Amino acid sequence: MSDTSQETTSRIPSIRMLAMPADTNPSGDIFGGWLMSLMDIAGANVAFQRAHGRIATVAVDKIEFHRPVSVGDVVSCYADITRVGKTSLTTKVEVYVGHRQGGENEIKVTEGEFTYVALDAAGNKRSVDP
């Protein structure tokens, strides 16, 4: 396992949540699907802003779970646009956890790539401004 501890204090998360007991799997860790949902929301936040309007998720291109997330962890998702096409955008989303008590750097637990397509009011693909 690689060193996933990084300094993230200069970055602003796209979304931040507290991991709660209702979000656990049978092993007591936070359910991966819950993390994927947060990641999709985080990526969509930046894709919506860049596309200047409605977008829809069309693919989860890659996702890697590095470490488990525990109840009580503060989960921060950082998202960046990595590619802009004619009608689509790809984001890289990195998930870090910190503890409510603070005192230590956030630790990267998950990362993935999400692709979104820009849509018009009727739900048809539209161009993304260059």
| CATH code of the domain containing 111 | 3.10.129.10
Mean pLDDT, residues 72-80 taken together:
96
User: Does the predicted model carry a pTM greater than 0.85?
Assistant: yes
Assess if residue 105 is contained within a domain: yes
Confidence at residue 128, expressed as pLDDT on a 0 to 100 scale: 96
Assess if residue 126 is contained within a domain: no
Assess if residue 95 is contained within a domain: yes
Q: 100 lies in which domain range?
A: 15-118
Assess if residue 112 is contained within a domain: yes
- Give 130's pLDDT tier (boundaries 50, 70, 90): confident
Is the sign of the CA dihedral 44, 45, 51, 52 positive or negative? positive
The helix or strand, by DSSP H or E, that contains position 84, with its residue range, turns out to be strand 73-84
23-63 pLDDT, tens digit per residue, is: 999 999 999 999 999 999 999 999 999 999 999 999 999 99
- Give 115's pLDDT tier (boundaries 50, 70, 90): very high
Q: How many structural domains does the chain have? A: 1
Assess if residue 33 is contained within a domain: yes
Assess if residue 127 is contained within a domain: no
Q: Across all residues in the chain, what is the average pLDDT?
A: 91
CA dist list (Å): 76 to 10, 12, 127: 13, 9, 30
Assess if residue 82 is contained within a domain: yes
Copy the structure tokens of residue 30. 């936070």
